[in-house]
A = this chain, B = another copy of it.
């Protein structure tokens, strides 16, 4: 299987459909097997105690899986998240960006399953892990 997008093409595509996220995320690596994505942490992602909020981590995890799905399947803007289970394991540092490393585990006819681990940049202890299921739109 060949990759459907280069990083530049995928970045441009994402910014067209989700203009809100421009400058928020950076796609570091994509392949048909997964993705590596950075959340540029700033004030709006923070919580008391100089840490990153849960919703920001969810957002990053979901984005990393969607990038991997796009790299694998092409532009399936209609693919929707049907389930996400998140374990929060360590307190992220508020002054470090967050990196999500996503791996595609299954590409089925109707479901895609991925998992993603989130790290404070420079650390190898995950702050969170998630499994995400996407439902593919039926072929017309």
Contacts and interface: CB of A to CB of B under 8 A. Distances in A.
Interface of A: 17-18, 20, 44, 47-48, 54-56, 58-59, 62, 77, 80-91, 105-106, 108-111, 113, 115, 125-126, 129, 131, 133, 135, 138
A81 B87 CA distance: 8
Q: How many copies does the complex hold?
A: 4
Given A55-B55, A110-B110, A138-B110, A115 B129 contact: yes
B131 A85 contact: yes
Given A110-B110, A113-B129, 13 more contacts: A18-B48, A48-B77, A55-B62, A83-B83, A83-B85, A84-B86, A85-B85, A85-B131, A87-B113, A89-B105, A89-B106, A110-B135, A129-B131
A25 B125 CA distance: 30
30 contacts: A17-B48, A18-B47, A54-B62, A55-B56, A55-B59, A55-B62, A58-B58, A80-B88, A82-B88, A82-B89, A83-B83, A83-B88, A84-B85, A85-B85, A85-B86, A85-B131, A86-B86, A87-B105, A87-B113, A87-B131, A89-B105, A89-B108, A109-B138, A110-B135, A113-B129, A115-B115, A115-B129, A129-B131, A131-B131, A133-B133
